[in-house]
Structures are given as C-alpha cells and as structure tokens.
Amino acid sequence: MAASLGLIAGFIMVSTAGCACQFAQSRATPEPDAGETRSGRRDGPLRRENAFFGVHFDLHPGKTDTALGADVSEENIEHLLTRVRPDWIQYDCKGHAGYTGYPSQVGWPSPGIVKDSLAIWRKTTAKHGVTLFIHYSGLWDRVAVEHHPEWARVTEDGKPDPNIASVFGPYVDKLMIPQLQEVVAAYGLDGVWVDGECWAARPDYSPAALKAWRSETGRSDAPRSASDPAWLEWKMFHRRAFERYVCHWVDALHAFDPKLQVTSNWMYTTFAPKPIVAKLDFLSGDFVPSGAVDRARLDARYLSSTGRPWDLLAWGFVGGEGRNPSMKTAIQLQAEAAIVLSQGGAFQVYYQPTRPGYVSEGIIDTLGQVADFCRARQDVCHKSTTVGQIALLLSSESQFDRSDAVFHPAGSLYELEGALHALLELHYSVDVLAEHQLMPRLQNYPVVVIADAHRLADDVKEALRQYVHRGGKLLLLGEKCARLFTALLRVRLDGPPRTWEGELQSSAGLVNVKGVWQQVTPTTARVVGYRYATRDTRKPGQVAATIASHGKGQVAAVYGPVALQMYETHHPYLRRFVADVARQLVPDPIVDVDGPPTVDVALRRTRDGRLALHLVNLNNQPLGNRQVVDLIPAAGPIQVRWRLPAKPGRVQWLPSGERVTWSWSDGVLLVTVPRLAIHGAIVVEP
C-alpha cells in the first residue's frame, strides 16, 4: 500500500487542493429539498427520499487502466444533466477490483488515473443542483484481500477468499470506513451507494468467525454442510454478523456526516426479507439486465411494502457469454421503469461510460427519452400507496432455511415468482410481503396467498388461522404449505407426498404437471380441481384442489407444484387452473379487467389521495436469446369493472389525458381504455 501511495502523492495533493476540497464546503450552500415542482424541477438538490429519477455510472477501476478521467469534461456532463434532468447521479468511486477511481490516500488508487473525474462530476452536479452519490464496492474488494489475506473471509476448505473480506475482521475499520470518510470529505458528497454487500457475503471459517461462533453458541465445531443439524443456526449466525457489520459502517458514516445518505445494495429487499435494523436512508437494488421485467415485478412489490424510500436500478445494456454489452432501447427501459413507477418507487438507469469517462450521445439520448417517460408519470406514481387486494407471502422463515447464501434468494423464490406471475396475468393487484410486514396488516387484505412455503413460525400460522376465522380468504399453492394448515383443510392426508406425473384439468384444457403431490380425501371440503394419470379424463381422477370454510372465512388449497410449474413453463392452462380455484374463493374481486394476460394491474392511491388503477403493458418482453426489443405492441381496448361505493366526480386516463368512456351504476364503475401503449392509470376523483 505504501509503495502505491508514494507513486501518486504529488497528484493527490494537487488535485485535492485544486478541485475536490472546495466542494466539501459547497454542499451545504443549497439547502437540500429546497423545493420540488409538479414537473419534477427543483430549486436545490433533493434528498433521496424525495428524489424520483437518477443515473448510475460505474467503471470498476482496475490495475490495467491507463486513461481514467481523460475524457471527462464539464461540457459532456452538462449536456447530460440538461437533457436528462436527473435528481441524482451515482458516479464511480471503487469497484469490485478494489482500486479507486479517485486519488485515494487510504487505499489503492488505480494507476491509470490521469484526471480527477469525481472532482469534475462534483463541480458540475453542484452547479446544476443535482445530488451526487458514489458507487462503492464494500465487502467485495480483491486488491485489499490480496494485500491483506488476513482480512479475507475463509472458505470451508480453509483458504482465504480472493474476493470477499470478512465481516469479522479489521477490513471495515482499517480500510472501508476511513476511505469513505476520506472521499466524502474531499468531494462534499451527498451519499454513498455501497455494492458487493449482502449478495456477496458468504459463510466464513476464519479464526475470528469461529471464535465468535463459539462465543455465541458454545459449539466447538462449525457446520460444513446442510446435513449438519446446526446448518440453519450457522447461516443465521452469519446473517446477524453481516447486519452488525452494516450497522457499524452506517453508524460511523452518519456520525462523521449526519447529512450523508447511505444504503447497502439489496439489503432489506427480497434478498434479505427481514425487519429493518440498520439505519439506511433508503433501500435500493439493481435488477438483472436480462429478464429484468420479471425481476422488477417481484422486487418492486416487495420494496413497496417496506414503508421506506426505495428505488430500483435498471441496467441500460445487456450482454452474454462471449459478447460485449449492447445498449437497450428506450422503449425497453420504459417498460422496466413502468413496473417500478406503478408501485410508487423511484427509478434509475445504469450505464458505463468509456474507460476515459466519456458519456456517449447514444446514452444521453436514450436516458432523455426514459426520463421524459418517467417525469410524465411522476405525479400519479411517485410515493403512491397500495389499496390492498391480494397479499402474497414471501416467507423469510422458508427462504432463510432454503437458501445457503447469507442474504441472497439462491433459487428459493421460484414458487413465489410463479404464483406472482399467475396472479398478475389474471389481473389481480398483488403486494408481496414477508411475515413481519404482513402480520400487522392482515386485515387490510381480503385474500392471502402462500406459494409452497415449507416453514412458518407457530405465531404466524395462528395469526393466519384467526384471520380466516374472522372472514379472510387463504389460498395455498403447493403441498408443503397445505400441510402446514391441515386442520383448516377439511381433508384427510393419504400417506406422504409422492412424485407424480399426469394431467391437471383446467377449464381451458389439460396441462401436464409433474412434481410432488399430496394425495387427499375430502371430509367436508369441496373439490374444485382434479388431476388425471393420462389425458383420458373418462377414468377416475384424484383430488388436486379443495376449498373449505373455517369460521367466517375460507381456505383453498392446491396439493401440487402449480406455482413452480408456472414459473418454469408459464403454460396458460396453469394460469387458468389458478383462476378456476381463485374465482371459487373470490367470485367478485375489487377490480375485474378484461384484457390480455400481458397487462399487469396495480391498485394504488396517489400521494395526494386519489384512487388510481395502474395498467402496465408487457407485450413482447425479451425471452430466451431475444435480449433487446424495439417494439411493444399496444393493448386494447381494455374493459375495467371496478367496485366503487360512490359515483366518481371525474375519471381520467393519465398521464396522456386521453378521453376514456366510463359509467357508474349500483356501486360499479365501468371504464373502457381504448389503447394501452406501455403504462397508464385510471384516476378517480370524488
């Protein structure tokens, strides 16, 4: 480290004195949140909880860079800021390689720095009243563990991890916190977006970790595989340790600069669905470049239920094995944005400038089109809140047991996603909540759906039993979650679950559903679905789904892997089977939409209190090897039947303001939307 610092000491002194330090004092000049107009313009930099649209740039500086900052200019940045009008910029600072893109005196600057990019970005964003964050890789720091292998987490075979630091070691105090304090003070930064965190953490067998394990549990040996009875305890031990690590650096940065806004990428999202402990100023995550719409459909619905400021970050490009990245079209990014906006969140897009730091005209033009699309919807979308229709349980209890990562789903959410897709294709408005979110809000939802969660705490099961007894509707999709509520099903379980291959009968036709099924015999439950050994339905079938009353409510159960099969195949007859069962449970939903299954529905209330039914058109989304699209065929006409007790004073189609035909009679609003391009909302006013 000392040798590296010596090489650039002169450069650090010149560039910091001449550029960066002046901004450490300028940040307080414009008061944060000085104001925001309805068009999205503001008089000063916004704090993240009030910001709506942002842009993310990172380069992950490396050892072999030779021209970092060479092409960064105020003119190029001003062109971007003027055309796109972002509320915030997240610019590069330190990537997974561990080298910084600014001349750090604490860590390892890239040897390829020729101009202080961050100083120019700070100067220009301050001039335009735009908030400036940095992208900073936390636990994932290759150069740090290369120089200090004692800082690394240790793998199960006893070797230092070449990429990931240990949360039990001195990395956070020796490098991470001092380096973040350095860059925040030097450049007057508004915030820090820390990457390479919860999704990068892994179980740790370092001496410090094993010592902490013995101290917390009294156990002398650490588990090595899932076959160990203490495996779940071992994973939860690491989850607690990771959260303490996040709390530590967050508290240290807030103490250093109380106005600083920080987050840890993907923490307290679907990756870590638990009560929020660390004092993060907002929640954020970057969804995958391919399959982004489906990723956003789940994550936005979970984040919207956290009650915290949040955003999701879309990748502006796609790539693949053996191919360099290519840019997405504006229309594709607009569809990804529509999912996030319809759930009340903020949106940002990630690009990489050239290695010397130039932001191309193509990026600026695409960003401008996406920003225009988002700004047109800001009033009706940003900070909206849900009007509860269906709650889909993301069981943290089950996820933490199934996933062997510290905080990453690791394949544990496929059933949940399949259930979500089926419900959305049936035009239900769905919120995704973990147990700690759902329990206080149970009575806000007419229906709760569980997709084959295999573990639930006793108090959660009891709360759901009481919810049904008081009149709630519970839909169980899968044999595992059905067996958790045996006492409510009014059936007899016939032996253990078994793998079965055959045909499931829906009102649209037969579909093969191979997987694990529980055979049952109804006692007082009513059968609402059958499965057959072959496509010859003249022969007797077996019970696939039942519905039973319990107190004032009802429980419907499907005894096989329909949610998983929906995730894997998206067969329309599976969707119809779920519809057949759900309609028995809820014959008259709040909103009934007659439109193609590619239209998602979200029933929300705007931040000024208006009811809004959001429609998002997901036609022609990228699938398989098709990664980029430039056409989203419009949907429509779409008929909406909406139960409203009072006649509206006005019904609008926003943001376009186009005329929609509507009528109201006997507590039902009928609306016809002639054409849905990507996103629009039916807004009802008294």
Give the CATH number for residue 265: 3.20.20.80
Instruction: Give me the mean pLDDT over the 416-439 stretch.
Output: 98
Q: Is the pLDDT of residue 591 over 50?
A: yes
Query: Measured between alpha carbons, how far is 157 from 77 in angstroms, rounded to an integer?
Result: 48
Nearest to 423 by CA among 288, 610, 255, 297: 297
pLDDT higher than threshold 50 for residue 16: no
With respect to residue 10, please indicate whether it lies within any of the assigned structural domains.
yes
Q: What is the mean pLDDT of residues 49-66?
A: 97
Q: Is 317 left (phi over 0), alpha (psi -120 to 50) or beta?
A: beta
Beta strands in 67-116 (DSSP E): 88-94, 99-100, 108-109
Domain termination residue (choose one: 229, 258, 286) = 286
In a domain? residue 314: no
What is the structure's pLDDT at 300?
Answer: 98
Tell me: the pLDDT tens digits for 294-327?
Answer: 999 999 999 999 999 999 999 999 976 667 889 9
Same domain for 555 and 483: yes
Phi, psi of 281 (to 5 degrees): -80, -20
Q: In this structure, is residue 392 part of a structural domain?
A: yes
Q: Are 100 and 136 part of one and the same domain? A: yes
Confidence of residue 43 (pLDDT cuts 50, 70, 90): low
> pLDDT category, 29, cuts 50, 70, 90?
very low
pLDDT at 289: 86
Q: 149 near 206, Cβ under 8 Å?
A: no
Closest CA to 142 of 197, 65, 64, 62: 62
State mean pLDDT over 503-514: 96
CA distance 262 to 240: 20
Q: What is the pLDDT of residues 207-236, one digit of tens each?
A: 999 999 999 999 989 999 999 999 999 999
Domain identity same for 98 and 224: yes
Q: What is the pLDDT of residue 74?
A: 98
How confident is the model at residue 93, as a pLDDT? 97
pLDDT value of position 629? 87
- C-alpha distances (whole Å) from 559 to each of 168, 434, 476 are 44, 22, 8
Asked if 618 and 575 sit in the same domain, the reply is no
Last residue of a domain, one of 539, 557, 589: 589
Residue 167's φ and ψ, nearest 5 degrees, are -75, -10
* 273 and 399 share one domain: no
What is the pLDDT confidence band of residue 561, given thresholds at 50, 70 and 90? very high
Q: What's the pLDDT at 323? A: 74
Mean pLDDT on 63-89 = 98
Q: Is residue 348 part of a domain?
A: no
Higher pLDDT pick, 28 / 258: 258
Percent of the chain at pLDDT > 90 equals 89
Query: Could you tell me which of 143, 269, 127 has the C-alpha nearest to residue 197?
Result: 269
User: Do 129 and 219 reside in the same domain of the chain?
Assistant: yes
What mean pLDDT do residues 69-81 have? 98
Which tokens hold the place of 225?
């595989």
The answer, yes or no, to whether residue 244 has pLDDT greater than 90, is yes
Q: Which tens digits make up the pLDDT trace of 260-277?
A: 999 999 999 999 999 999
Question: Which of the residue ranges 163-172, 317-326, 446-455 would you say has the lowest mean pLDDT?
Answer: 317-326
- The answer to whether residues 535 and 599 belong to one domain is no
Which residue do the tokens 């929609």 mark?
660
Residue 297 lies in a domain: no
Q: What mean pLDDT do residues 281-301 have?
A: 94
Residue 390 has pLDDT above 90, yes or no: yes
Q: Which of 676, 668, 636, 634 is nearest to 651 (CA)?
A: 668
What is the per-residue pLDDT across 636-667, written as a single tens digit (0 to 9) for each? 999 999 999 999 999 999 999 988 999 999 99
Question: Where does the pLDDT of residue 437 fall: very low under 50, low under 70, confident under 90, or very high at 90 and above?
Answer: very high
67, 139: one domain: yes
Does 135 share its domain with 88? yes
pLDDT of residue 520: 98
pLDDT value for 35: 42
Work out the pLDDT band at 614, boundaries 50, 70, 90.
Answer: very high
Range of the domain at 439: 388-589
* β-bridge partners, 614: 602, 681
pLDDT for residue 283: 98
Assess whether pLDDT exceeds 50 at residue 21. no
What's the pLDDT score for residue 476?
Answer: 98
| pLDDT over 80 at 73, yes or no | yes
Residues in the chain: 686
Q: Kindly report the CATH number assigned to the domain that includes residue 462.
A: 3.40.50.880
Question: What are 514-548's pLDDT values in tens digits?
Answer: 999 999 999 999 999 999 999 999 999 999 999 99
* Better-predicted residue by pLDDT, 39 or 624: 624
Q: Is residue 85 domain-shared with residue 232, that is, in the same domain?
A: yes
pTM of the model: 0.93
Quick one: 562 and 643 in the same domain?
no
| Structure-model confidence comparison of residues 213 and 7, the more confident one | 213
Query: What confidence tier does 23 reach under pLDDT thresholds 50, 70, 90?
Result: very low
**What average pLDDT does the segment 362-378 reach?**
98
Question: Token pair for residue 478?
Answer: 């899968």
CATH at residue 668: 2.60.40.1180
pLDDT of residue 624: 63
Q: How many domains does the chain have?
A: 3
Of 286, 308, 328, the residue at which a domain comes to its end is 286
CA distances from 543 to 486, 510, 540 (A): 15, 15, 10
Q: What is the pLDDT of residue 291?
A: 86
Residue 113 lies in a domain: yes
Whether residue 313 lies inside any domain: the answer is no
Looking at the fold, whether 486 and 505 belong to one and the same domain comes out as yes
In this prediction, residue 625 carries a pLDDT of 64
What does the radius of gyration of the chain's CA atoms come to, in whole angstroms?
A: 27
**Is 310 part of any domain?**
no
pLDDT of residue 324: 82
- Position 18 scores a pLDDT of 32
